[in-house]
Chain A
C-alpha cells in the first residue's frame, strides 16, 4: 500500500497540471475575443467607521460581496495560475472532507478509550473546518464572500486551538500507549512468564502428589512394622507386667494411625477420579440401597428418614459415588444429632431448569457457619470432638460433587439443624430415565 502512495500523488499533480494547461489554452482563446475583462484591485481605501460599527456591520452582512471583486478580477491571474490554484484547493477540500469520514468510521468500529474520543471528535471538526477554508478559497474566485471566509477562518482557528490543548492534555496518556509491535512483545513476554508459572505449578502439583503418596504409603510401612513387632512381643506378653493393658494401648494407637492413613488414602483415590462418561444414576434407587447399608446405624439411633424425591430423577454421578455422598451426609446427620432428640432427616430431590438438586435437611446440632464456613469442607476438620470421626467425609463429598461438575452448599443454625444442598451438573436436554 505505502509503495503506491508517491506514485498516486505524482499522478494527481500531473492531472492537475494538464487540467490547468487546458484551461489556459481555452482562456487565451476567449481572451482573443473579449479583451479587457481583467480588473485590478484598489490600492486601499481610508476607513473611518468606529470599531463597534465595524463589528455590527461585519456580522449583519456576513454574506455580503459588495465591497470586493471576485478573485478572478483581483490582480492579474493567468488562467493556468488561477485554475491551478482552484483545483489544488478543491482537492484539498475533498480530501479534508474524506478524512473525518475515515476517523468517524474508526471511532465507530474500534473501542477507543474515553479520554481519546474527545480528541477524535475535535480532530474531525478541525479537519472539516480546514477543508471549508480551502473550499472558500475556490468559491471566492467567483463569489467574493470575504466576510464569510473570515468567519470560517476564525471558526477553524478556535477549533484548532481547542485541538492543540486537548492534544497536549492526552499526551502523557498516549505516550503510554503501546504500538502493536510493543504489545506483541509484551504478550510474548507475558505468555512466557505464564508458561513458566504453569510449569512451576505443574512441578509443585507433581511434588504434592508425590508427597501425598509418601504420606499414605511410606508412613504405612513403618506402622505395619511396628504392628508386626508388637504382635511378636505379644505372643510373650505373660512375661511383661501389665502386659494386657500395654498391648491394648499400643494396638489402639496403631489402629488410630492406620485409620488416619486409610482416610487419607480414600481421599487420594477420590481426588484421582477422572470420569468423562455420562451417567444417569437414579437418585431414589441409590438412596434406597444406601439406606440399607447404614440400616444398623439408623435403627440403633432411632433416626427417622423422610424422602420426597422425584422417582425419575437421575444425576450425572456414578452410582457408587452418589451412594458415598448419601452415606457421608446421612451418617453425619445421625452422628451429630442433638443429645435429647432423635434425628429426623428430610431428603428432597427434584429437577428444575434441567438442573437436578437434592436437599438433605436434619434437626441436628448445626454448626456456626460464621465461624467455620471456610473450614467446613476442609480435610481433617472436626467440629464436634465428642463424636468419633476422621474428618474426611465432607471433604470427600465436596470433592466428588465437584469432580462431576456439581456443587454443595450448606445452611446451618446452631441447635436447629443443617441443610445440605447438592446441585448437580445440568442435563443437556436428555430426558431423565427412571
Chain B
C-alpha cells in the first residue's frame, strides 16, 4: 500500500448541477485517474449505497438538498452500518459555524469545504484524506 494514499473513486452527492460540473472538472484536472460520479440527492445516494459492492473512497456531500439533506443522509448512513471505508467531506455554501460544528461531529466526516470548490481546497482535502 502506498503511503501517500489517494482516493480511487470520489462521489459528488449534490443537487446543484453546475457545482457538480465544475467540481468534476477540478478534480479530474488535478488527477485524471480519479473516478468521479454524481448522485443528485440524498435519496439517490441511499439507493446507491444500499446496492453497491464498490462504495467510493471519498464523498463530497452537500447539506441542502431536496428530500433528504446531507445530515439526514449521514444519520441514515451511520444507522445502516455500511462499509466504513468511505470518508465524507461536507461541502456547502453555508458559512454558519453551527453547520461546520455539526459536520465535524460525524465520525466519517474528515473536512468541511465552503463552496465553491477550487484546486487549493481540493488539495487540502486530499491531504486530509491521505492522512487518515
Do A and B pair up? The answer is yes
Interface string of A223-251 (1 = CB under 8 A from B): 11101110110000000000000000000
Closest 8 A-B residue pairs measured CB to CB? A228-B116, A220-B93, A224-B116, A225-B18, A228-B22, A224-B115, A221-B93, A227-B116
Q: Which of A222, A224, A229, A231 has the most CB of B within 10 A?
A: A224
Contact of A225 among B16, B95, B96 (CB under 8 A): B16
Q: Point out the residues of chain B lying under 8 angstroms from A231, CB to CB.
A: 22, 116, 118
Q: Point out the residues of chain B lying under 8 angstroms from A229, CB to CB.
A: 18, 22
> Is there an interface contact between B95 and A262, defined as CB atoms closer than 8 Å?
yes
Answer whether residue A265 sits at the interface, using C-beta atoms and an 8 A cutoff. Answer: yes
Q: How large is the interface on B (under 10, 10 to 19, 20 to 34, 35 or more residues)?
A: 10 to 19
The distance from the CB of A49 to the nearest CB of chain B, in whole angstroms, is 106
The distance from the CB of B55 to the nearest CB of chain A, in whole angstroms, is 27
> Is there an interface contact between B94 and A225, defined as CB atoms closer than 8 Å?
no
Answer whether residue A386 sits at the interface, using C-beta atoms and an 8 A cutoff. Answer: no
> Is there an interface contact between A224 and B95, defined as CB atoms closer than 8 Å?
no
> Is there an interface contact between A232 and B64, defined as CB atoms closer than 8 Å?
no
Answer whether residue A428 sits at the interface, using C-beta atoms and an 8 A cutoff. Answer: no
Q: Point out the residues of chain B lying under 8 angstroms from A265, CB to CB.
A: 95-96
Answer whether residue A388 sits at the interface, using C-beta atoms and an 8 A cutoff. Answer: no
Answer whether residue A431 sits at the interface, using C-beta atoms and an 8 A cutoff. Answer: no
Question: Which residues of A (245-295) have their CB < 8 Å from a CB of B?
Answer: 262, 265, 269
Q: B16: nearest residue on chain A (CB-CB)?
A: A221
> Is there an interface contact between A224 and B93, defined as CB atoms closer than 8 Å?
yes
Q: Point out the residues of chain A lying under 8 angstroms from B95, CB to CB.
A: 220, 262, 265
Q: Point out the residues of chain B lying under 8 angstroms from A224, CB to CB.
A: 19, 93, 115-116
Contact of A217 among B18, B94, B97, B117 (CB under 8 A): B94
Using a Cβ–Cβ cut-off of 8 Å, how many residues does chain A contribute to the interface with B? 16
Residues of B within 8 A of A (CB): 16, 18-19, 22-23, 25-26, 64, 93-97, 115-118
> Is there an interface contact between B116 and A217, defined as CB atoms closer than 8 Å?
no
- Given contacts A217-B64, A231-B116, A225 and B22 within 8 Å (CB-CB): yes
- Given contacts A221-B19, A227-B116, A232 and B25 within 8 Å (CB-CB): yes
Secondary structure call for the B interface: loop
Q: Can you sample 20 A-B contacts with CB below 8 Å?
A: A217-B94, A218-B64, A220-B95, A221-B16, A221-B64, A222-B18, A223-B93, A224-B19, A224-B93, A224-B116, A225-B18, A225-B22, A228-B18, A228-B19, A228-B22, A228-B116, A228-B118, A229-B18, A231-B116, A231-B118
Q: Point out the residues of chain A lying under 8 angstroms from B115, CB to CB.
A: 220-221, 224, 228
Contact of B116 among A225, A262, A269 (CB under 8 A): A225
Contact of A232 among B22, B94, B97 (CB under 8 A): B22
Q: B94: nearest residue on chain A (CB-CB)?
A: A217
* A223 vs B95: C-alpha distance when bound (angstroms): 14
* A227 vs B115: C-alpha distance when bound (angstroms): 10
The distance from the CB of A162 to the nearest CB of chain B, in whole angstroms, is 75
Q: Point out the residues of chain A lying under 8 angstroms from B22, CB to CB.
A: 225, 228-229, 231-232
Q: Given A217-B64, A228-B23, 8 more contacts at CB 8 Å?
A: A221-B19, A227-B116, A228-B18, A228-B115, A228-B117, A228-B118, A231-B116, A232-B25
The distance from the CB of A261 to the nearest CB of chain B, in whole angstroms, is 9
Q: Point out the residues of chain B lying under 8 angstroms from A220, CB to CB.
A: 93-95, 115
Q: B19: nearest residue on chain A (CB-CB)?
A: A225
Q: A229: nearest residue on chain B (CB-CB)?
A: B22
> Is there an interface contact between B93 and A217, defined as CB atoms closer than 8 Å?
yes
* A231 vs B122: C-alpha distance when bound (angstroms): 14
Interface string of A197-235 (1 = CB under 8 A from B): 000000000000000000001101111110111011000
* A232 vs B118: C-alpha distance when bound (angstroms): 9
* A221 vs B116: C-alpha distance when bound (angstroms): 8
* A231 vs B25: C-alpha distance when bound (angstroms): 11
The distance from the CB of B80 to the nearest CB of chain A, in whole angstroms, is 28
* A227 vs B96: C-alpha distance when bound (angstroms): 20
The distance from the CB of B90 to the nearest CB of chain A, in whole angstroms, is 14
* A228 vs B119: C-alpha distance when bound (angstroms): 10
The distance from the CB of B74 to the nearest CB of chain A, in whole angstroms, is 19
Q: Point out the residues of chain A lying under 8 angstroms from B94, CB to CB.
A: 217, 220
* A222 vs B19: C-alpha distance when bound (angstroms): 9
* A320 vs B94: C-alpha distance when bound (angstroms): 22
